[in-house]
Structure 1
């Protein structure tokens, strides 16, 4: 195998596939990156058997030569060393050549590295995904849907299914739901389906985080293929495979209250900053609790009290307040996460009592919802 490649294209592809490479794998060859040179260009693959990423560098793009393939072939190189070498090479062109005993030479300018490669035939094959039902989501929408839900997945392995985001496709819409049983994030969006396909799968939160990092910020469509145990995201020159979590996701629709006793409309930014300030003193305590109370003027009071540190009290103007008086305590962190995920200058918070879950939505937008369970304070 021998080719000469533009360094910036190689660096970008290596960075993308590195997101799937784990140093903790039980399969030694998966600590490497697979490199294949063919007539069309160079393909790099990284995998930890849960997530696999394939990045393709075409021979030329927009009439510019990116890769000059001199000899076909394939090799697996240690990801840790290869990625560091590529980043620090001195010139814009990199030559990679593999000799008969898998000795791999990487040249750039006056710099030359020799790496011992592994046999590419030993590298596990990527999942075979039959592309029967493909649907497309614009990249920026997909990234927004991930950002607005993935933070609410559970970090505890006691219920593995909750470490993923539940994706449901039905009635030509995609619904993403994440919960760690103390809070819930929901986002839905209309999508175009070729036929009335119905899916209900759980994608690991970790996979979605990595996917979001490597997708370019543009409005091009990402093709999504869901099978029984895999999901494939196809972007330009990029394939991202993730295994699905096994098991049934809990029915979260029962958690979401459909009536409320107190409704408050607030300016998102003002409310977020007030919670942030109140949490400064709450952080010392184990659960970071902030209290919200309605006051007679129709505004609300935010407070927190940590006996050994001190207390903070702040009043915020509400745009409107309807319903019963209320005193409720909740995690400042959960509230701040939820507010950061919401889009819109004004939000409505609907409460159904001091110990019942409450929901936060942007005004006049039912495509996104955040739910938080209050904290019992004695």
Structure 2
């Protein structure tokens, strides 16, 4: 295998696929990036078995020559070293040559580097997905939906189903839901999709979705999404992003987490609300807030302040509606400018 390639194109492709590399893999071959070279271009692949990312660099793009292939072939190169060394090479062109026993040589300007490659035949084959159900979503919308729900997933790995975001699609309405048992975030959007295409109870890892967000460009790129029985495929320009789907077990939706950052909220007769927190070590903080409108009976309620702050960070609206049905009933938060988002936080029972 021997080729010459533009460094910037190679570096961008490596940065994308490297998001699938796990530092804790027990399979040595998965600590590398697979490089496949043909006379059509270069394909890079990385995987940690849960997610796999593949990107293609064509020989030419917009009449610019990107890759010059002298001899096709394949090799798996150690990701940690490969990722770091490419972006530090001095020249805009990189020559890569693989010789016997997968000894790999990188040349750029006056720099000459030797790497020990691995046998590409040992690399796992990417999942085969039948593209029977394909939907197309605006990339900016998809990133917003992920941002407004993924924060509410659980960090407790003993209940893996809660570390993901639940997807449902019906009649062109796409809905994301996440919960860690103490709070819930929901976001819906109408998309252009065949009304016959629908799926329910598809759960995708929150970590995976956050990595996906980093790959989606900001220029209103359209993302094709293919949903199969146990895999979902995202197509973004020249990048293929595969993710395993969790099997949902509704019993897991009642898993427990124990962290608390308790804040108390009390409605006042003058139409304001009082928010307070106290600590046996630090003392007490009290804040009075004006409200635009208040209806209903007086209320005192305690909740996790972190959960409320997480919601406020992702609500893209100046004013919010906060609804209560009782001191031990869920707190409902909705933006006032649209009805596509819904957030729910469970209160805490306190002694006073």
User: Which interval holds the TM-score relative to the shorter structure?
Assistant: over 0.9
For residues 111 and 368 of structure 1, what CA distance do their matches in structure 2 show? Answer: 53
Secondary structure at 1:322 match in 2? coil
Alignment of 1:51-130 (within 5 A): 51-130=51-130
For 2:295, which of 322, 336, 341 is the aligned residue? Answer: 322
Could you tell me which residue of structure 1 aligns to residue 241 of structure 2? Answer: 240
Could you tell me which residue of structure 1 aligns to residue 338 of structure 2? Answer: 365
Q: CA RMSD in A?
A: 1.4
Is contact 2:317–2:337 with CA below 8 Å preserved after alignment?
no
Name which of structure 1's ranges 58-67 and 322-331 shifts more when overlaid on structure 2: 58-67
Is contact 1:202–1:249 with CA below 8 Å preserved after alignment?
no
Q: Does 1:44 align with 2:17?
A: no
TM-score with structure 1 setting the length: 0.89
Is contact 2:159–2:252 with CA below 8 Å preserved after alignment?
no
For residues 309 and 320 of structure 2, what CA distance do their matches in structure 1 show? Answer: 13
Could you tell me which residue of structure 2 aligns to residue 274 of structure 1? Answer: none
Q: How many residue pairs are counted as aligned between the two chains?
A: 345
Q: CA deviation at 1:129?
A: 0.6
Q: CA deviation at 1:57?
A: 1.2
Could you tell me which residue of structure 2 aligns to residue 20 of structure 1? Answer: 20
Q: CA deviation at 1:227?
A: 0.3
Q: CA deviation at 1:248?
A: 3.1
Could you tell me which residue of structure 2 aligns to residue 255 of structure 1? Answer: none
For residues 291 and 23 of structure 1, what CA distance do their matches in structure 2 show? Answer: 41
For residues 250 and 317 of structure 1, what CA distance do their matches in structure 2 show? Answer: 41
Alignment gaps of 5+ in structure 1 = 253-285
Secondary structure at 2:310 match in 1? helix
Could you tell me which residue of structure 2 aligns to residue 210 of structure 1? Answer: 211
Secondary structure at 2:4 match in 1? strand
For residues 45 and 150 of structure 1, what CA distance do their matches in structure 2 show? Answer: 26
TM-score with structure 2 setting the length: 0.95
Could you tell me which residue of structure 1 aligns to residue 146 of structure 2? Answer: 146
For residues 84 and 147 of structure 2, what CA distance do their matches in structure 1 show? Answer: 29
Give deviations 1:132-165, integer Å, cap 9, x for gaps.
Answer: 1100000000000000001111111232211111
Name which of structure 1's ranges 156-165 and 32-41 shifts more when overlaid on structure 2: 156-165
Secondary structure at 1:83 match in 2? helix
Secondary structure at 1:19 match in 2? helix
Give deviations 1:207-233, integer Å, cap 9, x for gaps.
Answer: 111111111112121000000000000
Secondary structure at 2:294 match in 1? strand
Q: 1:190 to 1:249 in 2, by over 3 A?
A: farther
Q: CA deviation at 1:10?
A: 1.1
Q: CA deviation at 1:356?
A: 0.7
Q: Does 1:331 align with 2:304?
A: yes
For residues 327 and 10 of structure 1, what CA distance do their matches in structure 2 show? Answer: 58
Q: CA deviation at 1:251?
A: 11
For residues 82 and 6 of structure 1, what CA distance do their matches in structure 2 show? Answer: 15
Alignment gaps of 5+ in structure 2 = 254-258
